[in-house]
Amino acid sequence: MTIGGFVAVAGPGLAAASLLMACAIVALKLHRTLRTRAWEHRVAPLREAVLLVATGEDTEDGDTLSELAGVRGRTRRDLDELVVRLLGKVRGEAADQLVELLRSHGVLDRATRDARSWSPVRRERALHLIGRCRDWRGTDVAITALEDRSPRVRAQAARTVGRIGDPRAARPLLHALRLEGIHVGDAAEALVGLGHASGEALLWALAEGSPRARTVAAHLCGVGGVRMAAPLLVDLVERDPDLTAASAAVSALGKVGRAQDHGAIAAATVRFHPQQLRRAATEALGEHGLALAVPVLVRLLADPTSQVAEAAARSLLALGPAGRAALVEHAHLPAAGAELTHARLTGVAV
């Protein structure tokens, strides 16, 4: 059948289907708009009182809060919706007041129940609300949800445990990284939210975690200055079969490594290693800051892989007078020359 014939046969059907779809979309949008307007109309009389609470302007006795806590029926549901919306926009005392209001309406108890609902959408929403409220009583339910069968729920659970900030969640969160759904960036942010108390869990993950857990743990050990992680990081640099984890480990070693770890970092720059690891190791030598690294970095200035050579030039510059002198001495090499020019243009003394 030709294209013209196909259009002649299927055209009317396609046109009708398109029209039907367009009508459905318009109807849906109209329904949503009308619903939102009706909701706004219903909450309008309460808005000023809620703003009074949300901006911390309530009386010392909390008169407005008490008044809002006493609202019943459909108005209460509308009010709770407004409060949840505002809760994502303020922090501090104002947010605490809003959480108190939701608690008095039983919203948090409901969310804790909904986090075990059969519906993944409901579980995700409930966890989102628990996270927004930073309700420590939701820790257990959020930890359980880290192993949920839905990847979206697991991802939300990771964000929720980070917001609540209970350090008990650190190890379960790292353990859950073996599953799909939790983004490593979200996990890292959540672990930062859990504070220093998660240090022990990071060490566990370096030794026994999945590749993604090892990567996140190595990164956080470096950023957080967990110096006791150095021996485990050396082990990852030398033996980890996962390239991303090994590269994260060598970067972290540059930040928290001891003097005796110089050899492990330098060894990761040799040519038979993958480029990603060599580049991370070359940058780590600059961060590690030992003059011992100068000859290694000078050799890398002539590396055939330009990213490694450029990283070597940056590291030499970071190493202080000895590194800078070596860079000037080898200014004829492209990577060194480019770095020196860049340094002079940006006002760095060389």
Q: How far is the CB of 56 from other proteins (least distance, A)?
A: 6
Distance in angstroms (rounded) separating the CA atoms of residues 173 and 219: 15
For position 37 contacting other proteins by CB under 8 A, the verdict is: no
Q: How far is the CB of 51 from other proteins (least distance, A)?
A: 4
Half-sphere exposure of 15 (CA within 13 A, CB side): 6
For position 32 contacting other proteins by CB under 8 A, the verdict is: no
For position 55 contacting other proteins by CB under 8 A, the verdict is: yes
Distance in angstroms (rounded) separating the CA atoms of residues 308 and 285: 12
Distance in angstroms (rounded) separating the CA atoms of residues 253 and 219: 10
Q: Which is nearer to other proteins, 91 or 227 (CB)?
A: 91
Residues 106-145 that bind other proteins (CB under 8 A): none
Length of the chain equals 350
For position 71 contacting other proteins by CB under 8 A, the verdict is: no
Among 5, 13, 73, 92, binds other proteins (CB under 8 A): 92
Amino acid of residue 315: S
Q: How far is the CB of 239 from other proteins (least distance, A)?
A: 34
Comparing CA positions, the residue from 178, 169, 132 lying closest to residue 151 is: 178
Distance in angstroms (rounded) separating the CA atoms of residues 5 and 79: 58
Binding window for other proteins (CB under 8 A); candidates: 92-100, 152-160, 170-178, 322-330: 92-100
Q: Burial-class residue 179 by CB neighbours within 10 Å (0-12, 13-18, 19+).
A: middle
- Cα 106 off chain centre by: 30
Q: Which is nearer to other proteins, 45 or 92 (CB)?
A: 92
Among 47, 137, 168, 183, binds other proteins (CB under 8 A): 47
For position 265 contacting other proteins by CB under 8 A, the verdict is: no
Among 91, 149, 196, 258, binds other proteins (CB under 8 A): 91
For position 101 contacting other proteins by CB under 8 A, the verdict is: no
Q: What is the 3-state secondary structure (H, E, C) of 198-251?
A: HHHHHHHHHHHCCHHHHHHHHHHHHHCCCHHHHHHHHHHHHHCCCHHHHHHHHH
For position 98 contacting other proteins by CB under 8 A, the verdict is: no
For position 56 contacting other proteins by CB under 8 A, the verdict is: yes
Give how far Cα 57 sits from Cα of 49, 68, 100, 169, 251, Å.
10, 14, 15, 35, 48
For position 65 contacting other proteins by CB under 8 A, the verdict is: no
Q: Which is nearer to other proteins, 52 or 226 (CB)?
A: 52
Q: How far is the CB of 40 from other proteins (least distance, A)?
A: 9
For position 90 contacting other proteins by CB under 8 A, the verdict is: yes
> CA Rg, the chain, in Å?
29
For position 88 contacting other proteins by CB under 8 A, the verdict is: yes
Q: Is 105 helix (H, G, I), strand (E, B) or coil?
A: coil
Q: Which is nearer to other proteins, 86 or 236 (CB)?
A: 86
Q: Which is nearer to other proteins, 35 or 89 (CB)?
A: 89
For position 57 contacting other proteins by CB under 8 A, the verdict is: yes
Q: Is 118 helix (H, G, I), strand (E, B) or coil?
A: coil
Q: What's the CA angle centered on 136, arms 133 and 141, to 5 degrees?
A: 95
Binding window for other proteins (CB under 8 A); candidates: 44-52, 155-163, 183-191, 259-267: 44-52
Among 65, 68, 86, 335, binds other proteins (CB under 8 A): 86
Number of other residues whose CB lies within 10 A of the CB of residue 243: 16
Q: How far is the CB of 36 from other proteins (least distance, A)?
A: 11
For position 89 contacting other proteins by CB under 8 A, the verdict is: yes
For position 85 contacting other proteins by CB under 8 A, the verdict is: yes
- Binding site residues, other proteins, CB under 8 A: 47-48, 51-52, 54-57, 85-86, 88-95
